[in-house]
A and B are shown apart, each in its own frame.
Chain A
Amino acid sequence: GNSVTQMEGPVTLSEEAFLTINCTYTATGYPSLFWYVQYPGEGLQLLLKATKADDKGSNKGFEATYRKETTSFHLEKGSVQVSDSAVYFCALRGTGTASKLTFGTGTRLQVML
């Protein structure tokens, strides 16, 4: 079956530091890949997505590239802010699975001044 593995948190960084949150997946076919963010007390929000190999999703300074050869979709940001503190979920939607999402365990990011 499909699965998503992401690095455990919490990740604690100083403001303006570089962020990488690793995500690897297992799936048959050509899944779509997503990063969701959950701010405290709020629901999950779609941060970015990529639907085919070598696609780069980007939003709010965050980027992730769909790497089929390494089955990865690592999230990066060049300079984090305190407001980026949240829990980040990597997810995939397999082919032919009618919108079903498979999530990673989530990585909590804490950005300090």
Chain B
Amino acid sequence: GAVVSQHPSRVICKSGTSVKIECRSLDFQATTMFWYRQFPKQSLMLMATSNEGSKATYEQGVEKDKFLINHASLTLSTLTVTSAHPEDSSFYICSASVSGVNHEQYFGPGTRLTVT
């Protein structure tokens, strides 16, 4: 149980285009989803926290107009990287939790984004 999927697992896009990454909780309803970014040999960096039906809360330094997060249902959250640039190339990981407060997070397998 508590499986989280991400799609796609890998994506290559050209500079200036937008790309959408999906995060789904397959066997539970996630009231809160988290989006992380991971650079090579570095920590996972929390980008934003999203609660179903409300606007995402972004961490300091994360551009909300560039990284659009939608959490329209209890099983799906999407991250759209708008007008992507090579510096946006990274590994993006989502996680989902049930109650959203002090509850275990279940992680997706990640999406490798390469912007050419």
Contact = CB atoms under 8 A, between A and B. Distances in A.
Do chains A and B stick together as partners?
Answer: yes
Interface of A: 4, 32, 36, 41-46, 89, 93, 98-106
11 contacts: A32-B102, A43-B6, A43-B108, A89-B43, A93-B102, A99-B32, A99-B34, A99-B105, A102-B43, A103-B43, A105-B41
B104 A105 contact: no
- Interface size for chain B: under 10, 10 to 19, 20 to 34, or 35 or more residues? 20 to 34
Contacts, number: 49
Given A99-B102, A105-B42, 12 more contacts: A32-B102, A42-B109, A43-B6, A43-B108, A44-B44, A89-B43, A98-B49, A99-B97, A99-B100, A101-B46, A105-B41, A105-B43
B43 A104 contact: yes
Contact of B44 (A32, A41, A45, A89): A89
Interface string B47-89: 0010000000000000000000000000000000000000000
B21 interface: no
Nearest to B100: A99
Name, among B4, B34, B105, B106, the residue most crowded by chain A CB atoms within 10 Å (CB to CB): B105
Contacts of A45: 107
